[in-house]
Amino acid sequence: MLLRINPNRKSAIEPATPAKDTGKLLRRGFAAGIVVFAALGATYELRSQQPTNPNRSILLPQVNRPPDANEQMAMHEQNAKKANFDAANLERKRQIADDSAKLLKLASDLKSEVDKTSKDTLSLGVIRKADEIEKLAHNVKEKMKLTMGGS
């Protein structure tokens, strides 16, 4: 709240009238808005202008030239490596699928054998089958790490 001293009264302080200050603020705000719109219009006009030579390349000449024999050979080797990696990755995925199917069969066989035995005794065949399942599961896990780690 603004306070003004009344020139007629030396000791009295009265509040400033908001109508006088509002008019000044509106004029200043309007002027600032005009300046902002003018600046935006100028930047839009600069951006919308077309370049003088549209056929001129933006890239450096070294980028636009065709690859030489060494670069072609390097690209071919890169593509061959990628193809070999993709083929090996597909083979690992196929092996993982086969091993997983074998793992499922061994696990179901183990369950049926465990169900046949009494609760106090386990046969040597059950323990061997559980060990085989553990080794196969470890191999599947390692193959999965190889597949995921290659990319």
pTM tops 0.85: no
Q: Within its chain, how far is the Cα of 4 from the centroid?
A: 61
Examine the pLDDT at 151 and tell me if it is beyond 50: no
More reliable by pLDDT, 23 or 100 = 100
Contact 102, 142 (CB under 8 A): no
Mean pLDDT of 70-92: 84
Lowest-pLDDT range of 79-83, 107-111, 118-122, 141-145 = 118-122
Closest C-alpha to 13, from 23, 3, 22, 21: 3
Residue 21 has pLDDT above 80, yes or no: no
Spatial separation of the C-alpha atoms in residues 118 and 112, rounded to whole Å: 12
**Which region among 14-23, 31-40, 99-108, 128-137 has the lowest average model confidence (pLDDT)?**
14-23
Q: What percent of the chain has pLDDT over 90?
A: 16
What share of the chain has pLDDT > 70, as a percent? 69
